[in-house]
Amino acid sequence: MSLAESTASPPHRSRWTHQSNHDWTGTGPGGETLGFCGARSGLFDGQSNSMRLSNTLSAYRRGLRHSRLFAESGYDRLAKRIGYAAEHQTGDPDFDARVYLGTDDPGLADILRAQPALRAAVIALLDAGAKTIAIGRSGVEATMTGGLRPDDPDGEHDLVAAGDAISAVASLWPERPAPGPSAGAVFQAIALGWAALVLAAVPIAAWKNEVAAARQIETYAQIDWLGIGVWLGVAFVPFLLAGLRRPAAHRTLLTLGLVALVLTPFSTDLLQLRANRWLTRSEADVPAALTELRYDHDDPNPTDYEATVTVADRPSDWVLTKREGDLARQGSLCVAGVVATGLRDLRYVKRVRTWECPGQGPLEEPYVPEP
């Protein structure tokens, strides 16, 4: 019997209609509207607009109490053991060992404690392949493992069993009329916004870091672990403290950490430059040469000047004031580079210092005054 023929199943089982290789619709035993969106890839399907990495099973029922449940992992147990995460317990050892309640709603644990049938439905959904169960405005949504494949030989049995389980959760889950955002949801939104801001700052700053890199006289040949540590501290410490003793903050922290590790190899130069500036220890003047002056030659009284100044064989571009530019055109401007020494004796050109020094004669392009 195919899944398309499962409409003949007894009324206490879910019924599914075959739509495509990946997407299915169904009806639960209590009339619930079910949906299954299987993983797919445009590369394998030959469709340029088709990309889905996860299997999602849904049961639609509005007005449910918001929560998130996870198949408890070793990481969850570690976070609880060290005292970082705080999880509400139901008192059922088997349920508490398998299900992690990622909610700050203490009343939900009391409801689960009082309803063995609801606990059994959640366990059955985990047994059917769910790894994350989200209960929200539209109903229950379970992210399934890759093992749920309707096109497999046992696909019909697996999908019907999963449909029965998610329907039972949706029908037994407590209701709450139009709840506002919970404290946990507000925390997650703020924390993820902070994480996105910090992580986005790395590639954005690195993209705009060409000027700073041009003024760096020496660079590291090895990884700057101190610079990386400073950046990770800025990124993690506020989130780490804000998430202390919250139910699911450690999971978001893990996601943030994985993203940071992916970005870190691409931001090494940025971290080196920034840490060097933060830890500046001394400054000193170094002889410099004004090697190029740029302005509008058709303007008899130009106001915008740019110059290339070479300090310790490192050319860098600077904007000059009108007076500095006029002096440079007359050959009466001397320059020196203010070189700062920072982390591990790394030096960079912090700024240039100029003064009037008459007697050098008119500037010719390019002009390289004597040091």
Report the DSSP beta bridge partners of residue 33: 27, 60
Query: What is the C-alpha separation between 212 and 348, in angstroms, rounded?
Result: 8
Query: What is the C-alpha separation between 67 and 170, in angstroms, rounded?
Result: 12
Contact at 8 Å (CB) between 161 and 19? no
Give residue 172's pLDDT: 93
Contact at 8 Å (CB) between 46 and 160? no
Give residue 6's pLDDT: 44
Which position has the token pair 């101190």? 226
Tell me how far apart the 2 most distant CA atoms of the chain are, in Å: 104
CATH 2.40.50 fits domain 282-356: yes
Element (H, E) at 343: none
**How many CB atoms are closer than 10 A to CB 253?**
19
Contact at 8 Å (CB) between 265 and 225? no
Contact at 8 Å (CB) between 134 and 114? no
What is the pLDDT tens value at each position of the chain, 371 positions in all? Answer: 344 444 444 457 888 887 776 788 999 998 899 998 877 665 555 555 556 677 899 999 988 888 899 999 998 999 888 988 888 899 999 999 999 998 878 888 899 999 999 999 999 999 998 999 999 878 999 998 866 777 677 777 888 999 999 999 999 999 875 455 666 667 777 777 777 777 777 776 666 667 777 788 887 766 667 666 776 777 778 777 877 777 878 887 887 777 777 776 666 666 667 777 777 889 999 999 999 999 998 898 999 999 999 998 889 899 999 999 999 988 899 999 999 998 778 888 999 999 998 765 544 444 444 44
Query: What is the C-alpha separation between 88 and 106, in angstroms, rounded?
Result: 6
Give residue 135's pLDDT: 92
Q: How far is CA 184 from CA 18, 75, 110, 177, in A?
A: 38, 20, 18, 18
Burial class of 216 by CB neighbour count within 10 A (0 to 12, 13 to 18, 19+): buried
Q: Tell me the domain boundaries of the chain.
A: 3-172, 183-278, 282-356
Contact at 8 Å (CB) between 365 and 350? no
Give residue 27's pLDDT: 92
Give residue 245's pLDDT: 78
Give residue 246's pLDDT: 78
Residues 6+ apart with CB under 8 A from 161: 124, 128
What is the chain's alpha carbon radius of gyration, rounded to the nearest angstrom?
Answer: 32
* Residue 312 structure tokens: 């310790």
**How many CB atoms are closer than 10 A to CB 231?**
22
Q: Which residue from 158, 120, 159, 162 is spatially nearest to 140, judged by alpha carbons?
A: 162
Would you say how long the chain is, in residues?
371
Which position has the token pair 């997407």? 23
